Amino acid sequence: MLSSILITGASSGFGEACAHKFAEAGYPLILVARRIDKLNDIKARLEQNCPIHISSVDVRDQKQVEQLFQTLPEEFKDIDILINSAGLALGLEPAHEADMDNWKIMVETNINGLLHVSKEALSGMVARNKGHIINIGSIAGSWPYPGGNVYGATKSFVQSFSQALRADLIGKRIRISNIDPGLADTNFSTVRFMGDRDKADQVYKDTKPLTAEDIANIIFWTTSLPEHVNINNIEVMPVCQAWSAMTIDRSMENN
């Protein structure tokens, strides 16, 4: 039995789905998000299946993350799996029209937040010579699209950082996996469009996208493989999605 699993971004989307999936298997969970009300609701639904510790933490704040690890109850201190699910996209404007504050929030959450939590979890994993970090990336990190500028760049970082961790940890029994979902119907687009659910719904109109549960199932499988097996990267799209043709501007010839 694992000592504990820490899930960031656990109040919604992929993080919440992972909490449900791992709770079904009885694993002790540390659920982290900013919204304590949501975490309380999830704990109430799941704690009959497994021990659960919840904490309201903004992963962008290094001090809050350090405090989380320093104050974990003894029975949760040994973290064998970290699922870095906290992340977001804001806006879909081209770079020259984008809001700089949105860019900063994406960098601070998707990059800095992941670094803060990973660094703290790694020290214990290295000391015990055991662990698995799952980073949630995106196909946007490999396949740019209009308006995805900084969001895609942050997810490229997640992929590159995951690979670098594998290089740093060679010779240790610590696994690093990067999961890159494509079109997935969670609260992702609602957040991106500042709560405009009608606009978010248009992203998924007439499609059958991935669900948060689909990704949770993939993550659970990734962690359940024998300890000598490391899934480096999984890129997953719904069948209705594929790589787009390269954009060609045909208005330039005579300009």
Which structural domain range is residue 150 located in? 5-236
Which pLDDT belongs to residue 84? Answer: 98
Looking at residue 108, its pLDDT comes to: 98
Residues of the chain with confidence (pLDDT) below 50: none
CB–CB of 138/180 below 8 Å? yes
Q: Which of 25, 16, 150, 39 is nearest to 86 (CA)?
A: 16
Structure tokens at 48: 């009959």
pLDDT score recorded for residue 51? 96
For residues 81 and 230, give the distance between their C-alpha atoms in angstroms, rounded to a whole number: 13
CB atoms within 10 A of CB 251: 6
* CA atoms of 43 and 54, how far apart (whole Å): 8
* pLDDT for the residue 18: 97
The pLDDT, as a whole number, for residue 255 is 60
Spatial neighbors of 246 by CB under 8 A, at least 6 apart, are none
The pLDDT, as a whole number, for residue 253 is: 67
- Report if residue 73 sits inside a domain: yes
In a domain, 54, yes or no: yes
pLDDT score for 180? 97
Q: Which of 27, 145, 151, 204 is catalytic?
A: 151
Model pLDDT, residue 215: 96
Q: Are 72 and 126 in contact (CB under 8 A)?
A: no
70 and 121 Cβ atoms separated by less than 8 Å: no
Residue 151 is a catalytic residue: yes
In a domain, residue 80? The reply is yes
| Of 154, 142, 153, residue with least CA distance to 113 | 154
Q: What pLDDT is attached to residue 173? A: 97
pLDDT at res. 254? 60
List the CATH number of the domain containing 89.
3.40.50.720
Quote the pLDDT of residue 79: 97
Quote the number of domains for the chain: 1
In a domain, 183, yes or no: yes
- Has residue 246 been placed in a domain? no
